[in-house]
A and B are shown apart, each in its own frame.
Chain A
Amino acid sequence: MKILVFIKLVPDLVEELSIDPNGTALDTTWMRMIINEFDDHALEQAILLKEKQTADVIVIAPDVEGVDEVLFTALAKGADQVIKLTGDFSNANNHAFARAFTPYINNIQPDLILTGVQANSDIDGSIGPLIAACQNQPFIGYVSGVILEDKRAIVRKEYPGGVIAEMSVSLPAVLGIQSAEQPPRYVAVSKVRQVMKTANIEEHQFDAIDISGSPKTNRMFQPETSTHAEMIEGNPDEIADRLVSVFKEKGIL
Chain B
Amino acid sequence: MSRDIFVLIEHNQGQVSEISYIMLAAGRDLAIAQGSQVIAILFGNQAENLAQNLSADKLLYVNHPALEDFTQDAYLITISEIIKSRQPGVVLFGNTTIGSDLAGAVSISLDLDLASSCKYFTSDGKVVSQICGGKIMVESNFSFTTTLITMLPGGYKPELGQSDHPPAIENITPPSLENLRIKNINFIQPESSDIDISKEPILVSIGRGIQTQDNVELAEELAEALGGVICASRPVIDQGWLPTSRLVGKSGKQVKAKLYIAIGISGAPEHVEAITGSETIIAINTDPKAPIFDIATYGTEADLFDLVEILTHRINQAKGNR
Contacts and interface: CB of A to CB of B under 8 A. Distances in A.
Nearest to A18: B136
23 contacts: A13-B266, A17-B136, A26-B132, A124-B116, A125-B104, A130-B108, A132-B105, A142-B251, A160-B12, A164-B188, A183-B238, A183-B240, A214-B113, A218-B126, A219-B138, A229-B297, A236-B310, A239-B300, A240-B311, A244-B315, A247-B318, A252-B202, A253-B319
Given A159-B251, A162-B247, A230-B297, A216 B307 contact: no
B113 A215 contact: yes
Contacts of A173: 181
Contact of A126 (B104, B142, B182, B254): B104
Contact of A168 (B115, B182, B301): B182
Contacts of B141: 215-216, 218
Contacts of A162: 189-190, 244-245, 247, 251-253
B133 A13 contact: yes
A142 B289 CA distance: 28
A122 to B, nearest CB: 6
Contacts of A157: 97
B97 A222 contact: no
Contacts of B71: 167
Contacts of A130: 104-105, 107-108
Q: Which of B138, B141, B259, B299 has the most CB of A within 10 A?
A: B138
A133 B103 CA distance: 10
Contact of A164 (B181, B187, B306): B187
Interface stretch (B44-52, B160-168, B279-287): B279-287
Given A125-B114, A179-B238, A220 B283 contact: no
Contact of A215 (B115, B181, B289): B115
B173 interface: no
B199 interface: no
A129 to B, nearest CB: 3
Given A13-B133, A98-B108, A130-B107, A124 B97 contact: no
Contacts of B158: none
Contacts of B73: 138
B299 A213 contact: no
B115 A214 contact: yes
Nearest to B247: A162
Contacts of B107: 95, 124-125, 130, 133, 213
Interface string A145-181: 0000000001011111111111111100100101100
Interface string B258-290: 110000001010000000000111110001010
Closest 9 CB pairs of A and B: A162-B190, A229-B299, A129-B104, A133-B108, A125-B104, A229-B296, A133-B105, A215-B140, A158-B251
Contacts, number: 287
Contacts of B281: 229
Nearest to B192: A162
A121 B129 CA distance: 11
A161 B253 contact: yes
Contacts of A94: 104
Interface string B297-321: 1111110001100110111001100
A235 B75 CA distance: 55
Contacts of B123: none
B181 A170 contact: yes
Interface string A22-34: 0000100000000
